[in-house]
Amino acid sequence: MKNQQFVLAARPEGLPEEKHFRLEDLAIPAAGSGQVVVKTLYLSVDPYMRGRMNDRKSYSPPFPLDKPIAGGAIGQVTESLTETYRPGDIVSGFWGWQRFAAVDAGQVRRIEAGGAPLSAYLGVLGMTGLTAYFGLLDIGKPQPGETVVVSGAAGAVGLVVGQIAKLKGCRVVGIAGSEDKIRYLTEELGFDAALNYKRPDLPAALQEACPNGVDVYFDNVGGTVSDAVLALINPGARIPLCGQISLYNNGKPDVGPRIQPLLLTNTALLQGFLVGQYADRSAEGMEALAKWLAEGKLRYRENIIEGFENTPQAFIGLFHGDNTGKQLVKVADPV
Ligand SMILES: NC(=O)c1ccc[n+]([C@@H]2O[C@H](COP(=O)([O-])OP(=O)(O)OC[C@H]3O[C@@H](n4cnc5c(N)ncnc54)[C@H](OP(=O)(O)O)[C@@H]3O)[C@@H](O)[C@H]2O)c1
């Protein structure tokens, strides 16, 4: 057994590429007092990581160069100098792109694997599921009969948003980037309509798919897709602003329509949010998501790439639409 980590070798300008990451060999760490050593089983790669690769002030600090990339992970404890954890325990944490890490016990959380596979705790029962749950229900407040549009609809957050909106009795329209994804949303997840944003007539097709306008727009992507949706909002619309992935690789600020008149004349609410704001309510979200999952009311997909050495490739693929559902890296099986 050896330890390896991926460090940020250079800050990307534009799309991230393999050359921006460097694989390093190092010793497996020993646990210090109050620490556990974890062996990584699954790694989460997420669009927000792209923002942390810039040297710009944001809600979380930039990743330092030449240090391992931080991010959500699931692992198995191999050594413990705490009363709380024993070797063999499965935990989640934020130690990121490393095969082994020594982590303070307070920085990990035990996973009591129940009915769901371990990987689900990084997706539908983890950060992205909770993002969908709180963004849609707390800000979007969908009501039966309303029209909910979600962009990035076949991604980790989007597919949960659309299904919760269906459970709330809404007409759900998804927007995604391939015909396979469109079929998955309508034929397998029960979306009422889904549109490929790469079609040239997106604004007209959206209007047709939303004959009663748009009451809730869950925005994962921004850019021209959001311009087309916002043109259709109804009075009193709610817009949970979750992500802007179409802009993450832009060097310059995006210039688009000025939307304030639309928001004003429709008395609409546009609210940015971060899932971390809901940390003290995560048990509520987890309970609801786990219940819907167990009842078969919530379905999900994962795009799992095998092998730690493929972590940068998995991350880069997010910006090329390679994933349907949550993008993960499988590093090892539990023992
Ligand atoms: N606010 C929060 O707390 C929070 C938490 C988690 C995630 N987010 C945000 O939510 C969004 C979705 O995250 P996720 O984890 O569920 O990722 P994801 O949707 O599973 O993966 C990214 C997807 O974005 C789409 N995409 C990539 N480039 C695009 C572009 N230029 N225009 C339109 N779509 C593009 C691709 O699908 P297509 O094939 O459809 O293009 C890709 O598969 C991201 O913007 C992320 O930053 C926010």
What string of DSSP letters covers 194-256? EEETTSTTHHHHHHHH-TT-EEEEEBSS-HHHHHHHHTTEEEEEEEEE---GGGTT-SS----
For ligand 1, mutation pick of 151, 182, 221, 327 (most atoms within 8 Å of CB): 221
The enclosing H or E element of 163 equals helix 156-167
Q: How far is the CA of 29 from the centre of ligand 1 (A)?
A: 34
Q: Pick the residue whose CA is nearest to atom 24 on ligand 1.
A: 152
Structure confidence at residue 251 (pLDDT): 86
Give 68 Cα–ligand 1 centroid separation in angstroms. 23
* Ligand 1 centroid – CA 176 distance (Å): 10
Residue 255, token pair as written in the block: 């210039």
Q: What is the pLDDT of residue 291?
A: 97
Distance CA 172, CA 191 (A): 5
pLDDT for residue 133: 98
**Cα 172 from Cα 195, distance rounded (Å):** 11
Contacts of 9 (CB under 8 A, 6+ apart): 19, 20, 21, 22, 65, 66
Ligand 1 atom having least distance to the Cα of 322? 43
Q: Which residues of the chain have pLDDT under 50?
A: none
Nearest Cα residue to atom 6 of ligand 1: 128
Ligand 1 probe mutation, 136, 157, 160, 323, most atoms within 8 A of CB: 157
- Pairing status of strand 233-241 against strand 171-176: unpaired
Which protein residues touch ligand 1 with a CB less than 6 Å away? 46-48, 128, 131, 152, 154-158, 176-178, 181, 220-221, 225, 242-246, 273-275, 318-319, 321, 323, 327
| Residue-wise pLDDT tens digits, 138-180 | 999 999 999 999 999 999 999 999 999 999 999 999 999 999 9
Predicted confidence at residue 135, as pLDDT, reads 98
328 C-alpha to ligand 1 centroid (Å)? 14
- Provide the pLDDT for residue 112: 85
Residue the block writes with tokens 């689900």? 120
Work out whether strand 90-93 and strand 302-306 pair parallel, antiparallel, or are unpaired: unpaired
Output the pLDDT for position 314.
98
Q: How far is the CA of 48 from the centre of ligand 1 (A)?
A: 9
Residue 274 is predicted with a pLDDT of: 98
Task: Return the closest-CA partner of residue 140 out of 47, 236, 264.
Answer: 236
Atom of ligand 1 nearest to the CA of 242: 1
- The closest alpha carbon to 197, from 186, 218, 181, belongs to 181
pLDDT of residue 115: 78
Q: Are 24 and 5 in contact (CB under 8 A)?
A: yes
> What pLDDT is recorded for position 252?
87
pLDDT of residue 1: 76
Q: Which atom of ligand 1 is least distant from the CA of 48?
A: 47
Cα–ligand 1 centroid distance for 106 (angstroms): 30
Residue 233 forms beta bridges with which residues? 214
Which residue of 220, 239, 250 sits with most ligand 1 atoms within 8 Å of its CB, as the best mutation to test the pocket? Answer: 220
